[in-house]
Structure 1
Amino acid sequence: MNLNVTNEEKWKFSPIPNIEESNFNKILERFYNMGIKGLTRENAQNSLDGRLPGNENPVILTIETGSIKKANIPGINEVIERIKCLEGRNGYTKETIQHMVNKINQEEVRYISFEDSNTRGLTGARNGQSGSKKDTWGIYAYSKGVHFEEEDSSLETSRGGSHGVGKIASNAASDLHLMYFANCDENGDKHLGGTVQLIEHLYKGHCYRSTGYFTDIKLEGNKSKFYPYENNFDQVFEKNTRGLKIIIPYFREEYDNEREIIRSICDSFFLSILEGKLKVIVNEKEVTNDTILNYIKDPEYYVQDITEAKKVFTPLYVDTYLNETPEVIKVSDGVEDYHFNLYFYYDEQIPKGRVAIVRTIGMKIEDFKIEGKATKPFNAVLIGSSAEDKYLKLLENESHTKLSPDDIKDPNQKKRAKKFMSNLSREISKVIEEAIKKNNPTDGQMNTADILYVLETQFKKDLSDTLGTVMINDGNKPLVKTSSDVPIKEKRERKDSKQGSKKNPGPSKKKRDPLKRQKSRDSDKHTEKQEQLSTIYSAHPDMVERLIVGNKEMVKFDFTKSEHIKNDTYCNISLAVIDGMGVEYPNEFNIQDNYNHIIDLNSGGNCPYSQNVINNVQITQGVAQLELNLKESLNKSLKFVYYVEV
């Protein structure tokens, strides 16, 4: 291939006939949105993957942030000249290019580097762009979407990477999408490479691809071939011991936070560190199996109040792993059974239940939510062995942050994966339900007849207050009883008062409706009545009465003071969990997991429901009343905010 470049140019871009693609690589934005956590995760995982076989010492990852003079960045002026030629064709690319242009005039720039030790580094650098699977330099330096595969299948299974796209995480962390990598191999050979991710562009009269490579080039017959530069550059780019070093100049300001770097390492690799597989040094601060608890227990790094563990669960995971005895759970995909160690901890103070799914390499994949149990007070860590690791690797997304069958192409494998995910939730749910029963024992039988009688009588009285007539079935003779609680005279007075208000309106102060209108949202349409429902209001606490006695929960909604609802005959009612700070969690409560059935006391029939919505609730004279039969698993201390759809 003819690259239309001279050997004096440090950066090489492949020529193309014309520009066809005017967008930046979409993976850049994906990793950019993951922030510093995605960057540290990818590079720490790569270092663990490169560990020396048979070496019992931990992989050492040294992370350093600092400043470097622009003049000391190899080939930077060539990159800047290319950036000046970029032409955006849409709003996103124009904005990104302008951001790059705004950064190129700095004489001193920030950088971050990731240097590993007790690792193999890249092999075959002297062979350049060889195409051989054994030459990992050529795969890492010049290939997209390709990762090196170990000849030892057990080593390959334990590796964190598999998609070959994580390399671009380093480009995403640079304002110029620029990164370098310095390598020292087992022979002591030292080389420097790099990549920059731009868009297809016109430069000096020729069109070029978006990706540039910091590399030398040599003609061999009629073909040209990439070879790396020997590393004789600035000390920031030096790598003098075996292993790999990533250098990212023009380090994004929003990433440049030492505390967040340490937190992200602890969040994703707490198990590797606790087991002595990984040691991380961040600007001379060491995170090891001896020191990690100093950071986990430090309020400057993590909130220590267990009741505030709603998004970050690392302190809970560490305590659970260190203090609990694991139990083995079996999860099937319909064909094969997989066995995991589950470290489980139950505490009524925990506001959110999550499971850390961890690979044997020691990297946490995600904070897994168990279906219908996201608000249960538990914490867990799930770890498998080699076979389980291989299966989890199949389910991982490209950034290794989530298990999902969505990207599996084979329909049979996809079906099995979905079954596995469903069974995983089911098996852990059993453990959660058992813990709930164990921690909420029944202290003997309780005679609730008198309590229920008083409660039922009170509700009947409330019902009578709101009904003009009640149909009673006495054997085979239907009788109509007119309520005597509302005298005819009083009805006339109400009518007269309405007429009088029309004749003599006078000055009046408009009362605030106790319902607050919400944005409309989609809901399941089961009946014609539901299809007519379109407006959603949040109910003020003053209009809701809630009482739990035994295994029954009574809820009464008084809409008589609301101009919006009092004349409606049906509504849907949805529940959203709310914590002590007033924070709402609209999608984390499932009715089916917490109630056996729901009775509409106005109609006497069962109410249909789906997820967190109770459908077709009858409103009689502005009042709706429900009786909910509780499951033992319901956390009775939960507080709700109610939404009414009419």
Structure 2
Amino acid sequence: MSLKYVDEKWQFSAIPNIEESNFNKTLERFYDMGITGLTRENIQNSLDGKLLYSSDPVIVKIKTGSINENHIPGINEVKERISNLKGQNDYARETISHMKSKLNQDEVRYISFEDKNTRGLAGARNGQSGNPQDTWGIYAYNKGVHFKEQDNEVEESRGGSHGVGKIASNAASDLFTMYFANCDENGEQHLGGTVQLIEHMYKGQAYRSTGYFTDVEVMDNNKTKFYPFENHFHEIFQKKTRGLKIIIPYLREDYDDERSIIKSVCDSFFISITLGKLEVHVNGNRIAKDTIKDYVFDEYYYSQDISEIKKEFTPLYLNTYLKEPPKEIIVSNGEEEFKFNLYFKYDENISKGRVAIIRTIGMKIEDFKVKSNATKPFNAVLIGGNREDAYLKSLENESHTKLSKDHFSDRRLKKLATRFINKLSEEIAKVIQEAIDENNPIDGKMDTEEILYLDGEAFKKDLEGSMGTVKVSDGTSLVKSSGKHHKKEKRDKRNHKQEVINSKNKRTQKREPLKWQKTKDESIQEGKGRYSAHPDMVERVILKDKELIMFDFSSSDKINGAKTCDIALSIVDGMGQEYQNEFKINSSYQEVVDLNAGQRCKYTKNIIKDVEIKEGIAQLQFSLRNNFNRSLKFVYYVEV
């Protein structure tokens, strides 16, 4: 049998007709993940390929830079294919137009990931062999195939499982093009690559969407077999030490950000780095066991204000992992139980509660939201053993960013996954509640006479009197256009009740609900007086995350037509002892809104400023912080 080689460096498989006119959907999913998805996938691949039984950390060097377009291997063939692409829908046409706009550049931006203390790919000389131990053939030519380790324990700890992560590198390129250079245990060096286009016509022939940077043998029966090129290309595409190097030319502009690259390394691999399993260099910035704090706890990279951390939780995670002792929790899926170490931190300054779900490889899967506890003041890190790791691996979505049941087709496995995820929330919620109870004790019995806990319907009825007309799309009025009638009716009832009491007790003197309060408080402005408000004039409603207070000054002579007032809050403990200057509004409330004025109130310490009074009524709405103690009792002071 005679063999012949073709001259082209990029190989596309010929097909009879074009049947698929869309770009691979996985490209879009990884593109949406940005530099985080790219960094996660390539570093995870390096950790998966670590030298077995070596105690040295895997080292990954990430570089960005520019290269002359002429030094990119075989790029003119790719450009010619792209020039001939035709889109059959709006998305494809827009994508092709963008690709074509990037074709004529003298200097091209690139990013590379080069690892060390790894095995690299094996069996490159065998090419497209079909042997499961020839990892070059699996990585270079097979889509959706995941190489499996013979050692089960090693396999369970590896990050990859779906076999689609390789396409993350294509998604980072404006031309969907990537290369990989390999040096194996024998020192042999080869270069491969892939490009992801759409099915297309080229020189009168239809071709599949994926192209491979590879040499090819064509036999007499027209069957072909791919073999890699020996690596004699430009130095940026060379790998001279054992391991793998990914090179992505035409790097997308929004990926080309050193600060974001460093943050994505810390976000996904802070545990692996802290444990000394991984060391990453980003353009000379060394992120290792002894330096990671310099990045995570640096204001340039992450906000260090705990109360402002709402999306990037890495500083909280690292601090929790380093300082908190682990708690063991057991999570069942209905058939098996799994044991995890939970590193848990309760801090009332934390505004968003999240749990970092960590694989034993040291990679974070997701910022897990505990059901009904996403706004509780805590932070946690969850790590299991090898058995737990294997189960978490089975629950990961294809981009390794979330525990999910959706990728299971087996109904039993889907049901078990649902139970596990729900039970995980339940068990962590128990720890959260214990911490809240421990940090918010109730001091004895309290007289909560004026605290009203109402359900939604009762609350809505109470508010109808103070709200204007609400119009929906069809013009229907949901609430009376004016609350005056309701307020008047309510005051009439209250006045009638007072008259009955006066009649019964043969007393005609009307009680003044505001009582003069002597005070030396320097915060009171000159010319103002302070009065304590009688509980009868205060209505307080506490809901899930809101508190509303209405002050009815309509029967008080002290207000004397004032349009605004200041209101001070003073705590009373379970023994009736008052602490006038110890309460701080911002410790319990996120904001205070004047419902009459329709705007936020200014406040200092425990005093709310310039509250508007309408028809003798002042109304405030408070947004509660997660650590708010619902058992607090207040005395209210009015300053006019």
Tell me the TM-score range normalised by the shorter chain: 0.7 to 0.9
Residue equivalent to 1:285: 285
Q: Is the 8 A contact 2:5 2:217 kept in 1?
A: no
| Secondary structure of 1:244 counterpart | strand
Q: Is the 8 A contact 1:546 1:554 kept in 2?
A: no
Distance apart, 1:317 and its partner CA: 0.1
Distance apart, 1:445 and its partner CA: 2.4
Partners in 2 of 1:385 and 1:552 — Cα distance?
38
Distance apart, 1:365 and its partner CA: 0.3
Sort the Cα spacing of 1:93 and 1:546 in 2 relative to 1 into closer, same or farther, 3 A.
farther
Distance apart, 1:124 and its partner CA: 0.4
Partners in 1 of 2:327 and 2:489 — Cα distance?
60
Residues paired across the two proteins, number:
503
Residue equivalent to 2:131: 132
Unaligned residue ranges in structure 2 (runs of 5+): 455-461, 467-482, 500-537, 552-587, 594-616, 633-640
Residue equivalent to 1:398: 398
Sort the Cα spacing of 1:551 and 1:9 in 2 relative to 1 into closer, same or farther, 3 A.
closer
Q: Is the 8 A contact 1:469 1:483 kept in 2?
A: no
Residue equivalent to 1:218: 217
Residue equivalent to 1:601: none
Distance apart, 1:284 and its partner CA: 0.9
Partners in 1 of 2:300 and 2:170 — Cα distance?
30
Unaligned residue ranges in structure 1 (runs of 5+): 471-480, 488-544, 559-576, 583-622, 639-646
Residue equivalent to 1:97: 96
Once superposed, what is the RMSD of the aligned Cα atoms? 3.6
Distance apart, 1:547 and its partner CA: 3.1
Distance apart, 1:102 and its partner CA: 0.7
Q: Is the 8 A contact 1:547 1:553 kept in 2?
A: no
Of 530, 547, 550, 2:540 maps to: 547
Provide, for residues 457-477 of structure 1, a one-character-per-residue CA deviation record: whole Å limited to 9, x for no partner. Answer: xx9x9999837889xxxxxxx
Partners in 2 of 1:482 and 1:280 — Cα distance?
72
Q: Is the 8 A contact 1:437 1:633 kept in 2?
A: no
Q: Is the 8 A contact 1:120 1:242 kept in 2?
A: yes
Distance apart, 1:482 and its partner CA: 11
| TM-score, with structure 2 as normaliser | 0.73
Range with greater deviation from structure 2 (247-256 or 216-225): 216-225
| Secondary structure of 1:397 counterpart | coil
Sort the Cα spacing of 1:469 and 1:177 in 2 relative to 1 into closer, same or farther, 3 A.
closer
Distance apart, 1:301 and its partner CA: 0.5
| Secondary structure of 2:131 counterpart | coil
| TM-score, with structure 1 as normaliser | 0.73
Distance apart, 1:108 and its partner CA: 1.0
Residue equivalent to 1:115: 114
Provide, for residues 428-480 of structure 1, a one-character-per-residue CA deviation record: whole Å limited to 9, x for no partner. Answer: 0000000001111122223445x569x9xxx9x9999837889xxxxxxxxxx
Partners in 1 of 2:341 and 2:286 — Cα distance?
29
Residue equivalent to 1:29: 28
Sort the Cα spacing of 1:284 and 1:633 in 2 relative to 1 into closer, same or farther, 3 A.
closer
Residue equivalent to 1:160: 159
Distance apart, 1:224 and its partner CA: 1.3
Residue equivalent to 2:384: 384
| Secondary structure of 2:208 counterpart | strand
Opposite residue 208 of structure 2, the aligned amino acid is R
Opposite residue 540 of structure 2, the aligned amino acid is L
Query: Are 1:372 and 2:392 counterparts?
Result: no
Q: Is the 8 A contact 1:113 1:248 kept in 2?
A: yes
Q: Is the 8 A contact 2:451 2:541 kept in 1?
A: no
Distance apart, 1:325 and its partner CA: 0.1
Residue equivalent to 2:345: 345
Residue equivalent to 2:274: 274
Residue equivalent to 1:528: none
Partners in 2 of 1:551 and 1:407 — Cα distance?
35
Sort the Cα spacing of 1:551 and 1:75 in 2 relative to 1 into closer, same or farther, 3 A.
closer
Partners in 1 of 2:31 and 2:421 — Cα distance?
28
Residue equivalent to 1:612: none
Query: Are 1:414 and 2:418 counterparts?
Result: no
Query: Are 1:181 and 2:201 counterparts?
Result: no
Residue equivalent to 2:325: 325
Residue equivalent to 1:251: 251
Partners in 1 of 2:345 and 2:269 — Cα distance?
20
Q: Is the 8 A contact 1:546 1:553 kept in 2?
A: no
Partners in 1 of 2:68 and 2:544 — Cα distance?
71
Distance apart, 1:345 and its partner CA: 0.2
Residue equivalent to 1:12: 11
Partners in 2 of 1:23 and 1:482 — Cα distance?
71
Q: Is the 8 A contact 2:128 2:137 kept in 1?
A: yes
| Secondary structure of 2:101 counterpart | helix
Distance apart, 1:78 and its partner CA: 0.4
